[in-house]
A and B are shown apart, each in its own frame.
Chain A
C-alpha cells in the first residue's frame, strides 16, 4: 500500500518570496529518502508541500505538479485533509498533546477524526506503540500524561501517533535533532523497520544519519542569501556520498562547505 511520490516543476512561495525553485524528483515506495543540505535551502519546505502543510502558512502557495501514484495532490477536487491522512508527518520538536495521556495521544488521530471509542481501539494503540518500539517502556503508564515521557520517548510517541492512522507515506522533519545519540539510534532502527510498510522521507542535518538509514539521497542548496533553494542532485545514497556528479555536492558531503 506504500506509494511513490513524483514532483515535477514545483515552485514554493511564501507570499511573493520564491523559497524553492523548480524541484522535480521521485520518491520511491518503501524506500527511505533523505533530504540533505545547508540551513535555509528549502528541504523542509519541499517536505511540507508533499502533505499540503506548506499552504497553512499565511500567503504560502505551491506551483507545479505533485503526484501520489498518478493522483495530483493539488487538484482542486482533492481535500487537503484527506492528503494529510494519507501522508503523515513527524516534526523536529516532539509535540505530544499536553492535555492527553499516552494512550489518548496515540488514539488522537482516530478519535479526533470522529471514530467512536470502539473495540478495535485498544489493539490499534498497542499495535502502533509496538511498531514505534515504545510499548515495553510505556505499557504500565498508558494513562499518564504523554508530556511526562523523556524527549526520545515523546518523539517515538509522536511516530506512534502518526502511524496509528495508517498513512502510506511518512514525512520526518529532522526527527532526531532534539535527541541524544541513544534515542537517535532507537529512531533510526525504527525507521528501518517501518520502511517495510511505509514510504519514508526524512530531512536531516546529520549526514551520517542520512548515510546510515537512507537508500536515496537528495541534496539541496541555495546560491546565496535571498536566493531560492533548489535541488542539486539526487541518487543512491552510496553514490551521493562517494562519487557525486556535482562539485557542490562533493564539497558539502566532505565538509568543505555548509
Chain B
C-alpha cells in the first residue's frame, strides 16, 4: 500500500520567511547584530534552520532534504543575480543624467573637464571602428583555426600544440597583449598610435575565445551528417563549408559575440596603443583615437561632477552597444536559419 506522507501547506515557506524576518528584526534591536545586511543574514540563517526543522518534523527526511537543497540553490541564484542587477541598475540610473543627444553627437574638443556638456561621439566611433576591425581580423582566423582543430588537428601533433597555445592565450592578461603590440607595432616597426594598433591588441585577445567556443560547437555537429555528405561523394572541404558550418551557425555567432564582449570593454591595451583623443578622429589607421573604455577611464579620474556624469553615460553607452550587438546577432542567426527552412 502506498502511504501518503503528511505535507506542509503551500503557504509554509512564506510564513516561515515572514517569521524569520521578524526574528531577525528583534535580534537587531536586542543584540549586537546591526544594519540591513545583518538583518538579512540572520533572516536567511533562521529561515534555513526553521524550515528544515519544521519540514523534518512534519514531512520526513526526504522532503526535508528536498526543501533544504531547494532553498540553498535558490539562495545561490539570488546571490548571483544581485551583483548583476545592481551593476546594470546603477549604471542605468547614473548614466541617464547625461545620456542625451549632445552626449551622443558631440566630442570633447574644446570642452574643459569641469564644464558640463561635451560628449562621447569620438569614443563611440572609435570603439565601433576598433572592435569592428579586431573582429574582422580575429573571426576569420579564429574560425579557420577552429575548423582545423575540430576537423583535422585532433590527433596531429601540430593540432595538440595549437590547442595548447590557444589555451595559454585564453589566460593572457590584456595589458600584456597591449604591451606586445606597443613594443612590436609602435616601437619596433615605428607606426604611430592608432585605432588599428588597438584593433591588433584586441584581436590577439579575441582570437582564443573565438577559437575555443566555435571549435566546441563544430565538434557538436553530429558525425552522421558529415558521413551522409561524404557518402554522397562530396569532398571534405565542401562538406565542412556547406554542411558542418551552416549546421553550427547559431553557435558560431554566439562564439563571435562572446569574443566581442570579451574585448569591447578592455582599457589597458588601448592605453598603450590607441592613446586617447578628445577630438573626433574617424581614421582608425592614423593618429590617436578615443574609445569608450578610455573615455570612461579618463572622465572617471576627474574631480568634477560633470566629468563623472559623462563617465557614467559612456558606461551606459558601452552596455547598450553590447546589448544591441547581442540582439542583432541573434536576429541574424535566426533569419539565416529560417531562410533555409522555408
Contact = CB atoms under 8 A, between A and B. Distances in A.
Asked if A pairs with B, the answer is: yes
Interface of A: 51, 53, 56, 58, 81-86, 88-89, 91, 93, 95-101, 104, 108-109, 111-114, 143-145, 158, 161-162, 165
A113 B229 CA distance: 10
Given A56-B227, A95-B225, A158-B228, A101 B342 contact: yes
Interface string B102-146: 000000000000000000000000000000000000000000000
B227 A91 contact: yes
A82 B340 contact: no
B227 A99 contact: no
Contacts of B228: 91, 95-97, 158, 161
Contacts of B232: 84-85, 88, 108-109, 112-113, 161-162, 165
Interface in B146-168: 155
Given A53-B227, A84-B232, A85-B232, 4 more contacts: A81-B234, A91-B231, A113-B233, A165-B233
A95 B247 contact: no
B287 interface: no
A113 B232 CA distance: 9
A139 B238 CA distance: 28
Contact of A145 (B235, B242, B246, B341): B341
Nearest to A88: B231
Contacts of A83: 233
Interface residues on B, range: 20 to 34
B218 to A, nearest CB: 14
Given A85-B232, A88-B232, A162-B232, A112 B224 contact: no
A17 B232 CA distance: 28
B300 to A, nearest CB: 46
8 contacts: A88-B232, A97-B225, A99-B249, A99-B337, A99-B340, A109-B232, A113-B233, A162-B232
Nearest to B154: A58
A175 B224 CA distance: 13
* Smallest CB-CB A-B distances: 5 pairs: A85-B233, A89-B231, A109-B232, A95-B224, A84-B233
A110 to B, nearest CB: 9
Interface in B287-342: 337, 340-342
A38 B213 CA distance: 41
A86 to B, nearest CB: 8
Contacts of A108: 229, 232
A220 to B, nearest CB: 21
Contacts of A101: 340-342
B230 interface: yes
B222 to A, nearest CB: 7
A144 B242 contact: no
B231 A112 contact: no
A86 B233 CA distance: 8
A89 B225 CA distance: 12
A109 B233 contact: yes
